[in-house]
Amino acid sequence: MTMTFTDIYMPPRLLAPGGTPAGFTTHQQRYGPLSYGNPAHLLRTLAESGLTGRGGAAFPTYRKLAAVAEAGRRAGRAPVVVANGAEGEPASAKDRTLLRLSPHLVLDGLQLAAEAVGAGEAYLAVEDGATLLETALTERRDPLPVRTVRVPKRFLSGQSSALTQYISGHAALPRHQRPPVREQGVRRAPTLVQNVETLAHFALIARYGADWFRSAGTPAEPGSALCTVHVPGREVRVVEAPFGMLLHRLLPLDGIGAVLIGGYHGTWIPAAEAATRPLSMADLGAGVLAALPADRCGLAETARVLRYLALESAGQCGPCLNGLPRIAAAFQALASPGPHGTAREDVARWAGLVEGRGACHHPDGTVRLVRSALTTFAAELDAHASGHCTATDRTSLLPVPGSRS
């Protein structure tokens, strides 16, 4: 029998066992029916559970729902809820796996979120798989109809304001953070944007309660998370693991030089550090874990990702428009063995200049990746500066759309 990581680490909460998509009848048999009609109780249970967003920022879900409900009351307008399944991060597959295997958990969570904030409209935004989800929707009798929206395949499409702009009929580009989406999102209505995994956890918390949710994870970071795991020579896998589990149980670290945690807005750490590091929401970002073998070049890997991130910038804000391409070009120089001139200092300086200066967090996430690469691959930077590269295997690990490797 093929053993998946999910079987080993914990009984699956979110992903249908056996990798078989669950239709509505199976879903109801497995999890039982949902009850509606008590939004205050729903919000209380959510607060007690300590659930945080799984879309990257780990924001407390209860606080966001309460803020949207309050914004709706203040504006005298029913809020809009959006399930965010855009999954713009190229190295992530967790959201589309969840939507394929357990679509009804996400749809349950969307209805519950709608009830909790008093929403009048609901959307499910995905980059692909919309047809299957439309079929799943026809199996249900939901209190609030849900419309599916296909978003463009871009890194920024799932950023919350880009998503609400797109649903409102504009280009899928982030807009300035004020007023926030929770006050003015889709067609200027208060809007709740929630990652699809967050909604699926909510669907289980509503059924089984906060104590059940807290029975996995740590007191500070309760529950579990879906992770997309990249290990060279193996298929990319989506696994569900509790917070607090040591990373080496998720990623074999033999022959590994560094681990990327969180995705392209995430952090490189040396493999030795990963051996003792627990899975934490503070690091996990978009849920990506990738093990880079010691015989590959972390600088070359980072340079490819930075080039992609610079091209994906919406080009609306000066620091992002000018800064990210410069950082990417200088980093490309660092990735090639030979004299680098001032490239190392330039990258560090430009990183400081773009940080916190964009309308969205794209520059900040990119800077996080850059800084962690400069630290984790410091020895490789020195080797490159003196004309050597210690890597012997040039195969790429991380997927970059539009690149051949």
Ligand X SMILES: Cc1cc2nc3c(=O)[nH]c(=O)nc-3n(C[C@H](O)[C@H](O)[C@H](O)COP(=O)(O)O)c2cc1C
Q: Which helix (H) or strand (E) holds 351?
A: helix 343-354
CB of 317 to ligand X, least distance (A): 12
* Chosen from ligand SF4, ligand X, none, partner binding at 191 (C-beta under 5 to 8 Å by type): none
Among 91, 320, 334, 369, binds ligand SF4 (CB under 6 A): 320
Q: Give the residue with the Cβ less far from ligand SF4, 152 or 252.
A: 152
Q: Give the residue with the Cβ less far from ligand X, 43 or 57.
A: 57
Torsion angles phi and psi, residue 103, rounded to 5: -60, -35
For 215-344, list the strands marked E by DSSP: 224-230, 237-242, 256-261, 267-270, 288-293
| Site residue total, ligand SF4 (CB under 6 A) | 14
Interaction between residue 69 and ligand SF4 (CB under 6 A): no
Q: Give the residue with the Cβ less far from ligand X, 55 or 337.
A: 55
75, 166, 79, 158: which is closest to 114 by C-alpha?
Answer: 79
Residues 197 and 102: their CA atoms lie apart, in Å, by 10
Which three-class secondary structure state does DSSP give residue 171? coil
CA 377 to chain centre: 24
Q: Give the residue with the Cβ less far from ligand SF4, 105 or 156.
A: 156
What are the tokens at 128? 């692909």
Cβ-closest position to ligand SF4: 358
Interaction between residue 315 and ligand SF4 (CB under 6 A): yes
Which three-class secondary structure state does DSSP give residue 168? coil
Site string for ligand SF4, 331-360 (x = CB under 6 A): ---------------------------xxx
Residues 367 and 92: their CA atoms lie apart, in Å, by 19
Residues 76 and 87: their CA atoms lie apart, in Å, by 32
Listed ranges 25-33, 53-61, 67-75, 313-321: which one lies at the site for ligand X (CB under 6 A): 53-61
CB of 275 to ligand X, least distance (A): 28
Interaction between residue 314 and ligand SF4 (CB under 6 A): yes
Cβ–Cβ under 8 Å, residues 211 and 205? no
Listed ranges 42-50, 188-196, 330-338, 349-357: which one lies at the site for ligand X (CB under 6 A): 188-196
CB of 322 to ligand SF4, least distance (A): 10
Residue-level length of the chain: 405
Listed ranges 182-190, 251-259, 316-324, 367-375: which one lies at the site for ligand SF4 (CB under 6 A): 316-324
Interaction between residue 53 and ligand X (CB under 6 A): yes
* Chosen from ligand X, ligand SF4, none, partner binding at 53 (C-beta under 5 to 8 Å by type): ligand X
Residues 295 and 315: their CA atoms lie apart, in Å, by 36
What are the tokens at 216? 């996995």
Write b or e for each residue in 3-25: b if 16 or more Cβ atoms lie within 10 A of its Cβ, otherwise e.
Answer: ebbbeebbebbbbbeeeeebebe
Which three-class secondary structure state does DSSP give residue 229? strand
Q: Give the residue with the Cβ less far from ligand SF4, 118 or 315.
A: 315
Interaction between residue 160 and ligand X (CB under 6 A): yes
Q: Give the residue with the Cβ less far from ligand X, 225 or 343.
A: 225
Listed ranges 26-34, 102-110, 190-198, 386-394: which one lies at the site for ligand X (CB under 6 A): 190-198
Secondary structure (DSSP) of 16-50: PGGGPPP-HHHHHHHH-----S-HHHHHHHHHHHT
Residues in 138-157 at the binding interface with ligand SF4, rule: CB under 6 A: 156
Cβ–Cβ under 8 Å, residues 369 and 267? yes
Residues that bind ligand SF4 (CB under 6 A): 156, 174, 313-317, 320-321, 358-360, 362-363
Residues that bind ligand X (CB under 6 A): 53-57, 59, 84, 86-89, 156, 158-160, 193-195, 198, 360-362
